[in-house]
Structure 1
Amino acid sequence: MRPPSFVDVSTVNVPERDADVPATRRVPALTLAVHPRVDRVGERALLSSAPGEAQALSRTEPLFHRPGQSGGRPLEDSFVSRKAVRLQVTPEGGVRVEPGEGSRLRVAELVLTGPWEFSAEEVATGVPLELAGRVVLLLHAASPGEEGGDTLGMVGASAGLQRVRAQISRVADLSVPVLIRGETGSGKELIARALHQASPRRQQPFVSVNLGAIPRELAASELFGARRGAFTGSVRDQDGFFQAAHGGTLFLDEVGEASPEVQVMLLRVLETGEVYRVGERVPLAVDVRLVAATDALLEQQIQEGRFKAPLLHRLAGFSLSVPPLRERREDLGLLLHHFAREEREAMGEPWPPSSGEPWLPPALAVRLLRHDWPGNIRQLRNVVRQFVIGSRGQSHPQLDAQLDAELPSITRTPMGRPAGKQATEGPAPASPPLRRRPSEIPEAELLTALREGDWDFQAAADRLGIHRTSIYHLIERSPGLRTAGTLGAEELARVHAATGGRLDAMVRTLEVSKRALARRLKELGLDVRED
């Protein structure tokens, strides 16, 4: 075996994370999320931030281009009006929008007929704008000079993704251990594979191990190997994952799940480049680049005595932080179409579809853009697979009842506020409440929000300032609340008869989700009447 190549991190001069990407001022931008030509998705136009200068948005201007590329093309769609929408950056970093006559500009369910203003915070979060019912643009903050494409196998051009790409490029050719931090489903293994592919070890093995999936009593032998007879059932010598990855990269996911015994052994191999197989006293030298990942707060685990501080210091020779999907909404259009193309090609269906209409319906795209994606990339891919397969043989994707219930409805109040006379019916919508932690919400407040929102979970979530999916978790932990799925057929039949099958009356009586109750009644063959 070759000598160990583990590097003492105290001798490695790795740039600080904040220095990986030059500090650039972020400016409002428009990125195409839906266009009749799918190859246009992901193109971007930066808005002028010059004082008093407005940017025109119409069929013929501005020019959209791939981040990092020169030139560009206007929207060109014949359904988009030539009469421009005007967008002006405010001194506070927000954006004032003035729709042109006949522009058919929509924010959520509201067609703008007068000036509208979005705050800097709303622009940073991302605001979907629907134009002529065919084009969806995301108004967001961007850094000039960002690159796009699928560099290093990662799709997108957001600032957070660019930071990760820069960090990978700086550390890939070193043998220093890397710790990848990020929420579940955010693509940590993809980052580890990109590190491997950009390193001199790319021709050698890449071995991926999920420590959370290995029984604790087997973790040591699986990682480091075992000598024959070392434990019951061990009838031959067994190589471990470290030996399998010799010369290449070993990726340890969910490293926070490692047992104390395994933590000690990991620390030793990081310090010496040697492993001891279970039941053996002679060490084996290994040449492995170790990349670990976690969504856990290891520092908190250290305080609780569940993780060893020296191991964290060794694992984090260099740290990478993967941004959650909700912080890179400008990448959503590209990711949606990327996953859809993969699914359609796997089914033998053509891509791009030969239709003059947008493949992704704008109303559906707006819902996807407004979703918080608590499961990140993994959840996004599953959602795309669900509606692509569910719409197999159709020209455009459709949502089934389950996905329709999970995604936020666009019939919510939009972000922003009127910046002048707004010719729409009804009161001006208010800005949504600030996000809160679900754990801060008591059962009484949850019940009040559900009742005030007529048991519409999205409305209740908006009132409470939490994500829709958190409503389900809160109900599960609240003994005084229940779901439609837990209602017995006898009780449902009794209430159905008492209310004459009026759905709203049944919702008020049973105090459960209206959508879920309608599905439950349909399953039982009970007709419902809308009040």
Structure 2
Amino acid sequence: MSRNGPRDSLSPSGVAEVSTAAGEQQRVTASADALVPALTLISHPTATRAGARLLLDAVLAGRDVALSRNGPHFTRPGEPFGHPLSDPFVSRVPIVFSPGATGMIRLRVGEGGTRVTVNDQPVTDCEFTHEALAAGVPLNVSGRLVLLLHLASRHTDDATPVDTLGMRGDSQGIQRVREHIQRIADLQVPVLVRGETGTGKELVAQAIHQHGPRQGRPFISVNLGAIPKELAAAELFGAQRGAFTGATRDREGFFRAAQGGTLFLDEVGEAPPEVQVMLLRVLETGELYPVGGNTPIKTDVRLIAATDSNLEEHIRDGRFKAPLLHRLSGYEIRLPPLRERREDLGELFRHFAQEQLDAIGEAHRLTPRDAYAEPWLPTSLALRLLRFAWPGNIRQLRNITRQLVIGSRGQPVLRLDPRLAGELEASVVAGPVANPPAAVVRRKSTEVTGEELLAALREHQWDLKLAADRLGIPRSSIYDAIDKHPNIRRAGTLTAEEITACHQECAGDLDAMVRRLEVSKRALNRRIKELGLSARGS
């Protein structure tokens, strides 16, 4: 919403009602931190453009946003200047984004304009629901670039330079992680980082260390899942010579190696019971006992733990101690999985690709000199990456990017080998991203076939409004379509005898009568009442 746009009184939900010029009520969140529709470049023929963004907050204020080859500009958060799409295959005839029905965004393409497809289906006039925007809708524009239509924080449009804390991306989820790090970095509170495998938990721990008072002191990273359980205590807390078979000398341990700095314990849920007891003692007293030792040693270590396990479930199963969880989670940070931050995918892919291209001497792939050349990252591949579920998250994306770049070495565009193609097909995300509930395509009733009409009516239990929305035609037009279909009747054409007989057979169950007679539920209920009958489910 424009800062100078119309503003009215708040509703109980904290949402302002703004009237557009057309008189249609648009619900606009009043908070400056509200989410607004945005377009993010996932892929572009100039691959370095990935990650640039255009906020569509003007749509929330009731105004159209016309997107063409020459404008408006896509800008990276924290940068003062941006660039238009500029691709010669994108038409000067604009793609127009405008307010749709409540909570929806309408997309229109003028005649002769750029081809836009959603789920491989061309669209010229359609609306996107709020649910679809929340999930992210991939738009294939001219077969040359991919835009993700999604929701973004308004403050990402701020031109103030942003400290990324070493983390790529500008999604709401990753912004929230940065805010958590900035709040906790200068404190000595233990931190528990939660997140799926491959989401970058160690990167968060490093950022906390680097932006806190222990910067420049030791940062020790330990994966408890990789240490044999019988050696874990000695590895962490140290051991005196002779404490166990094979202990031929004193062992310092990771806690003492991290003295004055930060100790990062990854996969803390894998800690053996005796290690959990010793960890709890360190957190409560600031002292540790080496294995085989009787004299406590004072420690000055900031502890950051991480897990991809459900520790609460481990506690119920007796595998983890509740007091230890309470001590470890002095402050919790949750890392979002990649599937929840898809708008970051283009920027992340570009970053990992840049690393590999620099290594093999082909960095020129990201900035082609020929504006008419085929994009190095084909739109079909970019869409596959968007639809993939990424069970391995950022780590998996890095590995797949490396495989693509090296496997396509010397080729003008990236190519998928059969093995990698199979991997990307094996785990496709379900829901709106894979199949957006977005294509509410506007059509003429004459374009609707009889089979489509009947299928839509049956799918929505003869609710004419829902069926019309499904078909992309106005509700008023569906009556004409029904009248022209030889095998579809209106409730008004049914005889009193036919309705009464069906009422008896269905024991007055209105839904059953609708399925039997295949007519509008509302209209049938009205006829039933006119006949002095009562119906269940009315």
Report TM bin, short chain.
0.7 to 0.9
Q: Specify the SS of the correspondent of 1:151.
A: coil
Q: Post-superposition shift, 1:272?
A: 1.4
1:124 corresponds to: 134
Instruction: Look up the match of 1:111.
Output: 122
Looking at structure 2, the residues matched to 327 and 174 of structure 1 have their Cα atoms a distance apart, in angstroms, of 29
What SS class does the counterpart of residue 326 from structure 2 fall into? helix
- How many angstroms does 1:196 deviate by? 1.0
* Counterparts in 2 of 1:294 and 1:92: CA distance versus 1, 3 Å: farther
Secondary structure of residue in 2 paired with 1:204: coil
Secondary structure of 1:342 counterpart: helix
RMSD: 2.5
What is aligned with 1:397?
A: 414
1:413–1:159 distance in 2 versus 1, CA, 3 Å: closer
Q: Which 10-residue stretch deviates more, 294-303 or 400-409?
A: 400-409
Q: CA deviation at 1:352?
A: 4.8
Counterpart of 2:55 in structure 1 is 46
Letter in 1 for 2:129: S
Q: What is the CA–CA distance in structure 1 between the aligned matches of 2:298 and 2:324, rounded to whole Å?
A: 19
Distance in 1 between the 2:244 and 2:348 partners? 47
2:397 is aligned with 1:380:
yes
Is 1:262 aligned to residue 272 of structure 2? no
- Whether the 8 Å CA contact 2:192–2:330 is kept in 1: the answer is yes
1:233 aligns with 2:246: yes
SS of the aligned residue for 2:305 comes to: strand
Once residues 384 and 251 of structure 2 are traced to their aligned partners in structure 1, the CA distance between those partners, rounded to angstroms, is 51
Instruction: Find 1:419's aligned residue among 412, 431, 441.
Output: 441
Contact map agreement 1:68 1:145 (CA 8 A) in 2: no
Aligned to 2:474: none
Other-structure match for 2:298: 285
User: Could you tell me whether the CA contact under 8 Å between 1:341 and 1:351 is conserved in 2?
Assistant: no
Q: Letter of the 2:408 partner, please give it.
A: S
Contact 1:345 1:351 survives alignment (8 Å): no
Percent identity of equivalent pairs = 57
1: CA distance, partners of 2:62 / 2:327: 53
Alignment of 1:98-497 (within 5 A): 98-101=108-111, 102-112=113-123, 114-146=124-156, 151-355=164-368, 356=370, 357=373, 358-408=375-425, 415-421=437-443
Looking at structure 1, the residues matched to 162 and 318 of structure 2 have their Cα atoms a distance apart, in angstroms, of: 43
Deviations 1:257-294 (A, max 9, x none): 11110000000111111111100111111211100001
Match of 1:82 in 2: 92
* Cα distance per residue 1:221-251 (max 9 Å; x no partner): 0100110111111110011011111111110
Q: Label 1:316 to 1:354 Cα distance change in 2 as closer, same or farther (>3 A).
A: closer
The amino acid of 1:348's aligned partner reads: G
Taking structure 1 as reference, are residues 415 and 226 closer, same or farther at Cα in structure 2, changes over 3 Å only? same
Residue 169 of structure 1: CA displacement? Answer: 0.6
2:36 alignment partner AA: V
Distance 1:130 1:217 in 2: 55
Report the equivalent of 2:44.
Answer: 35
**1:56–1:237 CA distance, 2 compared to 1 (3 A):** same
1:145 partner SS: helix
SS of the residue corresponding to residue 407 of structure 1 reads helix
Q: What is aligned with 1:65?
A: 75
Distance in 1, matches of 2:404 and 2:84, equals 30
Unaligned runs of 5+ in 1: 1-21, 431-531
Q: Distance in 1 between matches of 2:264 and 2:402?
A: 27
Give the gaps of 5 or more residues in structure 2.
1-30, 457-538
Once the two structures are TM-superposed, the CA of residue 90 in structure 1 deviates from its matched residue by 3.2
Indicate conservation of the 8 Å contact 1:28/1:89, yes or no: no
Instruction: Quote the Cα distance in structure 2 between the aligned partners of 1:395 and 1:180.
Output: 41
Which of 89, 105, 113 pairs up with 1:95? Answer: 105
Q: Counterpart of 2:59 in 1: which secondary structure?
A: coil
User: Which is further off, 279-288 or 71-80?
Assistant: 71-80
Q: Distance in 1 between matches of 2:169 and 2:148?
A: 14
Q: Residue 23 and residue 247 in structure 1: after superposition, are their counterparts in 2 closer, same or farther (change >3 A)?
A: farther
Change (3 A) 1:40 1:160: same
User: What is the aligned counterpart of 2:35 among 26, 29, 37?
Assistant: 26
Task: Give the drift of 1:348.
Answer: 3.2
Q: Could you tell me whether the CA contact under 8 Å between 1:251 and 1:290 is conserved in 2?
A: yes
Could you say if the C-alpha distance between residues 413 and 174 of structure 1 is closer, same or farther in structure 2, counting changes exceeding 3 Å? closer
Question: Closer, same or farther in 2 for the Cα pair 1:396/1:297, shift >3 Å?
Answer: same
Contact 2:165-2:178 at 8 Å conserved across structures = yes
The aligned amino acid for 1:420 is: R
- What is the TM-score of this pair, normalised by structure 2? 0.72
Cα deviations across residues 399-457 of structure 1 (Å, max 9, x unaligned)? 111121122489x8664223311889996999xxxxxxxxxxxxxxxxxxxxxxxxxxx
Letter in 2 for 1:418: V
* Relative contact order higher in (CA < 8 Å, ≥ 6 apart): 1
Contact 1:124 1:141 in 2 (8 A): yes
Aligned mates of 2:229, 2:452 — CA distance in 1: 59
By how many angstroms is 1:50 displaced?
Answer: 3.4
Cα distance change of structure 1 residues 83 and 188 upon mapping to structure 2, 3 Å threshold: same
CA distance in 1, matches of 2:385, 2:221: 31
The 3 A distance-change label for structure 1 pair 414 and 308 is closer
**Alpha-carbon separation, structure 2, partners of 1:154 and 1:224:** 32
8 Å contact kept, 2:59–2:65: no
Task: Give the count of matched residue pairs.
Answer: 408
Report if aligned partners of 1:149, 1:155 keep a CA contact under 8 Å in 2: no
- TM-score with structure 1 setting the length: 0.73
In 2: Cα distance, 1:92 partner to 1:284 partner: 64
For the structure 1 residues 257 and 424, does the alpha-carbon distance in structure 2 shift closer, same or farther, using more than 3 Å as the test? farther
Is the alpha carbon distance of 1:424 and 1:115 closer, same or farther for their aligned partners in structure 2, counting shifts above 3 Å? farther
**SS of equivalent residue, structure 1 residue 200:** coil
Q: Distance in 1 between matches of 2:47 and 2:439?
A: 32
Instruction: Note closer, same or farther for the CA distance 1:92–1:406 as it changes in structure 2 (3 Å cut).
Output: farther
**Aligned-residue offset at 1:150:** 6.9
Q: Aligned-pair distance for 1:26?
A: 0.6
Work out the CA distance in 1 between the residues paired with 2:448 and 2:391: 34
Partners of 1:78 and 1:145 in 2: CA distance: 31
Specify the code of the residue in structure 2 equivalent to 1:110: Q
What SS does the aligned partner of 2:203 have?
helix
Superposed displacement of residue 39, structure 1: 2.9
Distance 1:334 1:353, change over 3 A: closer
Conserved 8 A contact 2:286-2:299? yes
